[in-house]
Amino acid sequence: MLKYILFATHTLLFLTSAQAGVNCYRLIKEIHQADSPVLLERLHGPIEQKLFLHIFPKREEDELKALPKIKAFQKFLNHYQLNWNDFDLYKKRAIALTYLNEEIESLKNITKNNLDSLREKELKRSLLNHGVEDFNESSTEKLKEISQKNLERISKKFRYQEENLDKSLYDFISQIQLQPIHNSHIVKSEFYSPILSSMMIQEILGSGGFNTAHFNREVMQSDGNIFFFAELKNQKSNDHLKVKKYGKNKMTIKEETLYRNGWVSPFIMYQDELMVFGNSVRDRSILLDLSYEEKILYYKDLLHLYDFTPNDYETLVKMTLTEWVIGLRKAGHYRYKVFQENPERLIDEVQTAFKEALGVPFRFEFKVPVLIPISEQIFI
């Protein structure tokens, strides 16, 4: 199916280097002139031909029929003066691949200013959907404002921040950093195209990424982001290498993108995760006489209470671990001595610390809006 070229943990778009520089005008000429039985061989070499047939298997004729409904594809056909109905299945596959190639090339060449503008717009959409009231300032500045207020509110729950930690624990906690991880079952080497949000994939193919269901698109409206596990690292710990959900092949992003364009919020992929979040953070003094569907919308509007910039999320993690570890020491718990001797084990206990020190039973995720260019990607 067409989406075979758009595979991922959430929304990864991948195109091989062999196809990335194909000249669209030459391909269109070949499509017009070649006989169908030899078309693929004339367009590409043996390796490209095998991938081509994998992406566009014969049984996917119905999906090819859907392409002309997409505005971007209509524009492509008009530009090259192609009448879709004039071609047989083989040539339609060639046209479809040529179209995808041209779309990817245009995204590869997106300017920094255009990308910043798209990211600002999508971040605003996300914040509004998390219950933030409409605003006129930049989305990045609004996120900083929300994040700082959240950090200040939550930090009031801490009691032990002024107390001293053992030096080995203090040194370890103070050096903890975010390490966003995006996993893939398929990609095993560097990427040759941008990573796209499910929304951008839908604009190209008419259907989103594999793991973006109706709940994510229509209710959460989170499909404009690329998702990462909000993993943590320390120079003494490689815990992020253990995370294998959605694939054992990993990528992260450059530090500038992480802190400039990324943001952190509760991990919500399914409805039950939103319910766990809402039940744990809602004001218990307010009696909720709501249906299940109404609760979903009500809880969704509370998400902004736990939206953070990457810097503030790192601070929250450090403060929470400090609070939790000092609490263990005061209680005379054996785990304090374990962590004192092996501080690197704290990385495995961040979720436990959130739950026991803050009463927060949910996880967090890291996101970047719109797309991630090749220049911002790091393959681990």
pLDDT of residue 143: 98
Q: Is the pLDDT of residue 48 over 50?
A: no
Confidence of residue 19 (pLDDT cuts 50, 70, 90): very low
pLDDT of residue 32: 59
Confidence of residue 191 (pLDDT cuts 50, 70, 90): low
Measure the CA–CA gap between 211 and 192, rounded to whole angstroms. Answer: 21
pLDDT of residue 66: 74
Q: Is the pLDDT of residue 51 over 70?
A: no
Q: Is the pLDDT of residue 138 over 50?
A: yes
Q: Of the given ranges (81-90, 204-213, 331-340), which has the lowest mean pLDDT?
A: 204-213
- Higher pLDDT: 21 or 290? It is 290
Asked if residues 323 and 158 have their Cβ atoms less than 8 Å apart, the reply is: yes
Confidence of residue 344 (pLDDT cuts 50, 70, 90): very high
pLDDT of residue 311: 98
Q: Mean of the pLDDT values across residues 227-244?
A: 72
Measure the CA–CA gap between 298 and 283, rounded to whole angstroms. Answer: 12
- Higher pLDDT: 29 or 193? It is 193
Instruction: Give the closest residue to 224 by CA, choosing from 290, 105, 129.
Output: 129
pLDDT of residue 27: 57
Supply the pTM of this predicted model.
0.85
pLDDT of residue 88: 82
- Higher pLDDT: 299 or 25? It is 299
Q: Is the pLDDT of residue 47 over 70?
A: no
Q: Is the pLDDT of residue 340 over 80?
A: yes
Q: Is the pLDDT of residue 210 over 70?
A: no
Q: How far apart are the first and last CA of the chain?
A: 29
Instruction: List the beta strands (DSSP E) in the chain.
Output: 177-184, 195-196, 225-233, 249-253, 263-266, 364-369, 371-372, 377-379
Asked if residues 255 and 17 have their Cβ atoms less than 8 Å apart, the reply is: no
Highest-confidence segment of 40-49, 90-99, 129-138: 129-138
Q: Of the given ranges (1-10, 81-90, 95-104, 233-242), which has the lowest mean pLDDT?
A: 1-10
Confidence of residue 333 (pLDDT cuts 50, 70, 90): very high
User: Which amino acid does the sequence have at 152?
Assistant: E
